[in-house]
Amino acid sequence: MRKAFACFVVLAAIAMAAPLAAHHGAAQFDVGKKVTVKGTVTEWFWSNPHCFLRFDAAGADGQVVHWAVETQSGPNILPQGFSKQSFKVGDEVTVTLEPVKNGRPMGRLLQVVLPDGSTLPLRVTDAASIPAQN
Amino acid sequence: MSKHVAAPTFALLAAFVWSLTVHTQGPMPGAVYDRDRPGEKPGPAPRRDLAGIWEPATPGGGIQGKGALAMDSCRRDKATGRYVIQQNPPLTDTGYATVDCLKPDIEPPYTAEGLARMKAHKPVEGYRMVPDAVNNDPILDCDPGGFPRIVLHNFRTSEILQTPTHMVMLYKFQKRYRTIWTDGRELPKDPQQPAWTTADRLPPEPRWWGYSVGRWVDDYTFVARTNGFHDDRTWLDNAGLPQSDTTEVEETYHRVDANHLELSIRITDPKLYTRTWVALDKLRLRLQSPNLDIQEMECSPSDQKHYYEIFGNLTDLDPTTGK
């Protein structure tokens, strides 16, 4: 019974998160799945409609794996605390991502821990505290 | 609370917070939303006045990734209003499916040609969404989204400039503009041979943004009509609803009070739809400070090219499973 309840809660959690997850290109992502990878930034590309972060990480066989994770566009993620200066090549980061279905080292960025221990994105409540102009 | 209950409950709460944190569209920096002014009592609507900078009254309220607002392209639960989730969902005609976007109960009233055109579109959003690598959405190559897609897909902060002869709509998304004439001229009579320049013997000219004329039907309601589009170079929305050179769009702007405007859109196209249908139903907009700086949201072909060099090569996906 307890197992059944736990399963229900996990499924409910996926169901709750998934509706908000669907946006550009969602069909190739394994919606609801999360992977966390530690690596070194090789590129942070600031653009519209998608920014992306590329980083190198050690694979299970010791070989370097070249990861790429996308975010929404620059104007969309500015309020979440991101900027063109958020990452520089060589930064050590820990990235939590939603991977693509076919197993390639690609996905959508869900959260990243920066070298100073801070995380992006900020919580929405933080972004909403940006002062209004009237 | 036992640990067997506490852990999954925590997981549920964490997932909820996580979903809000990661996926919710953020507010436009510097914009004011209705939630910022609880208990507000706006003054009366000014007479015959649409001028100003407008933003959806709720953050992200004008961004309809799943399809035109009044015609959801994903099924919602009638009791909760949330999108329906289904593990192992059925595949659509595209050969793909996604867990959180199922075929809606109500769809636009397609003609046979409209249905065929819709099925030829491979969008990256809506219940027929496909992976990037196999999409054929024209705006993903930075083609103009055109009108009314700029409103039905991605209405963000926009400014209306009002003069005695026309309205100019300045859109943040793709940094575009269009003109609605109010000088008494009529729409081009033949939407498939549109032109206002016949007297100058210039050839007819189809347009991405169409030809638009508008008038005040009362002191607080402005109605614009638009025709003269390209044939199938633009889509109505992000989910691939079709548009053609016989599409006519009716926009209604209703000034509710000093701070708010409601925008509705109706679509008529005898080639694609059996009757006129409502694509946008009273999207609530809020007037912003005149000194609000509207962000750029330009589509750069070279940026897109670089993006697809990294993310557009998922061509080894299994077309029947999407994996």
CATH code for position A81: 2.40.50.140
Q: What is the arithmetic mean of pLDDT over A95-120?
A: 92
Whether the pLDDT of residue B233 is over 50: the answer is yes
A85 lies in some domain: yes
Query: Cβ contacts (< 8 Å) between B8 and chain A: which residues?
Result: 5-6, 8-10
DSSP B308: H
Residue A1 lies in a domain: no
The tally of domains found in chain A comes to: 1
Residue of B310 and B261 predicted with greater confidence: B261
Give the closest of B32, B83, B130 to A134, CB-based. Answer: B32
Q: For residues B68 and A125, which has the higher predicted lDDT (pLDDT)?
A: B68
| Cis ω for the linkage preceding B301 (within 30 of 0) | no
Q: What is the mean pLDDT of residues A2-20?
A: 40
Provide φ and ψ at B198, rounded to 5°: -55, -40
Q: Residues of A with CB below 8 A from B59's CB? A: 128
Give which of B1, B9, B22 to mutate to test A binding, by max A Cβ within 10 Å.
B22
**CB atoms B19 and A21 under 8 Å:** yes
The pTM of the whole model exceeds 0.90: no
| Confidence grade of residue A21 (pLDDT, cut at 50, 70, 90) | very low
Mean pLDDT for the stretch of residues B99-119 = 89
Q: What is the ipTM of this complex?
A: 0.71
CA distances from B116 to B101, B112, B113, B135, B242 (A): 21, 6, 5, 16, 9
Domain boundaries, position A104: 25-127
Q: From its phi and psi, is residue B270 left (phi > 0), alpha (psi between -120 and 50) or beta?
A: alpha
Where residue B249 falls (left for φ over 0; alpha for ψ -120 to 50; beta otherwise) is: beta
Task: Establish if A13 belongs to a structural domain.
Answer: no
Q: Binning pLDDT at 50, 70 and 90, where does residue A72 land?
A: confident
Q: Which of B191, B171, B245, B184 is nearest to B213 (CA)?
A: B184
Given a cut of 80, whether residue B6 has pLDDT beyond it is no
Of A18, A47, A111, the CB nearest to B85: A18
- B154 forms bridges with which residues in the sheet? B63
Q: Residue B132: its chain A contacts at CB < 8 A?
A: 25, 28
- The answer to the question of residue A6 being in a domain is no
pLDDT tens digits, B181-208: 999 999 998 888 888 876 666 677 899 9
Residue A30 has pLDDT above 70, yes or no: yes
| Nearest CB neighbour to A133, from listed B129, B131, B292 | B292
> In the predicted model, what is the mean pLDDT of residues B80-102?
81
Beta-carbon count within 10 A of B321 CB: 12
Please check whether residue A14 lies inside any domain of the structure: no
Domain assignment present for residue A132? The answer is no
For residue B177, give the 3-state DSSP assignment. Answer: strand
Looking at residue B192, what is its pLDDT?
85
Residue with tokens 């499916």: B97
pLDDT at B172 over 80: yes
Contact yes or no for A31 and B133 at CB 8 A: no
Q: Higher confidence at residue A11 or residue B240? A: B240
Which of A47-61, A115-129, B218-232 has the largest mean confidence?
Answer: B218-232
Using DSSP, state whether A87 is helix, strand or coil.
coil
Query: In this complex, how many residue pairs, one in chain A and one in chain B, have their CB atoms less than 8 Å apart?
Result: 183
Token pair in block for residue B96: 């793909």
Query: Does the structure show a pLDDT above 90 at B250?
Result: yes
Residue A6 scores a pLDDT above 70: no
Q: What pLDDT, in 10s, does the model give residues B279-296?
A: 999 999 999 999 999 988
Which single residue is written with the structure tokens 């010791």? Answer: A62
Interface of A with B in 70-109 (CB under 8 A): 70, 73, 75-80, 100-102, 104, 106
Domain assignment present for residue A10? The answer is: no
Residue A5 lies in a domain: no
Residue of A nearest to B8 (CA): A6
Q: Distance from A46 to chain B by nearest Cα, in Å?
A: 9
| pLDDT of amino acid B14 | 38
Mean pLDDT is lowest, of A36-40, B121-125, B206-210, B211-215, for B121-125
